[in-house]
Amino acid sequence: MSTTATKSKKAETSAQTETVQITAPRIHTAEFHIIGTAPYVQLRFSEKAINAMREKHEAGSQANKKKNKEARDFHEDFLQAQHISDGDEPWNGIPASAFRNAMISACRLVGFKMTLAKLSVFILPDGFDKVDGVPLIKIEGKPESHLMHARNATGVCDLRVRAKFWPWSATVRVQYDADQFTAQDAANLMTRVGSQVGIGEGRPDSKLSAGMGWGTFRLG
């Protein structure tokens, strides 16, 4: 037998005995009905603000010319603060990322690596935001205007108009890697999100403060 034929046979044998070590992901879905135990408050980056920034960039140096300050429309601020779905029958929604980020953050409480959690839990959206396409979870509840003082990054005191939902509820569908979590793990993690992390403005796990006691919930 020639050397070439021998090498070919060895390669063929090696290919036949190759061991697969990476298993396919086992993605399961769990559905949770949640009920707010405190108001849910949201403040989206408004379409009006997006358009204003775009106009400023498009104007270039002309944008530096002094303009008269327009009167503030607080009702319009309230409308702009809301996440509304696209489609013929729009509804109010919560960004799906709020729940995913909260579940990842809650992993710190139980010593589970957040880097693994980022690859292991996902939220299935009910629709998408009409302005920027952000995935949304439908919220059951009626928004009302919430006016409160706040401080800008410069330290100057200002007024913020947010959308507040109270009472409220929602149904959240969570996809999880069954090689990392069990169904009970996912339920316990969502319970910790509701009682210890929260979602939206003024949540306990707020990046800039200890929160306002908003955005908590329980499993229904």
Residues 194-208: tens digit of each pLDDT: 999 999 999 999 988
Position 47 confidence tier, pLDDT thresholds 50, 70, 90? very low
In a domain, 82, yes or no: yes
Task: Supply 191's token pair.
Answer: 């319970």
In a domain, 6, yes or no: no
In a domain, 113, yes or no: yes
- State residue 100 phi and psi, 5-degree precision: -65, -50
Going from the C-alpha of 146 to that of each of 75, 122, 159, 166, the distances in angstroms are 10, 31, 10, 11
> What is the pLDDT at residue 72?
87
In a domain, 162, yes or no: yes
What would the mean pLDDT of 25-36 be, rounded to a whole number?
98
In a domain, 43, yes or no: yes
Nearest to 100 by CA among 113, 114, 110: 114
Task: Supply 202's token pair.
Answer: 């003024």
In a domain, 111, yes or no: yes
Task: Supply 31's token pair.
Answer: 């559905």
In a domain, 60, yes or no: no
Domains contained in the chain, number: 1
Domain limits at 208?
25-55+72-219
- State residue 135 phi and psi, 5-degree precision: -60, 135
Cis upstream peptide for 90 (omega within 30°): no
In a domain, 61, yes or no: no
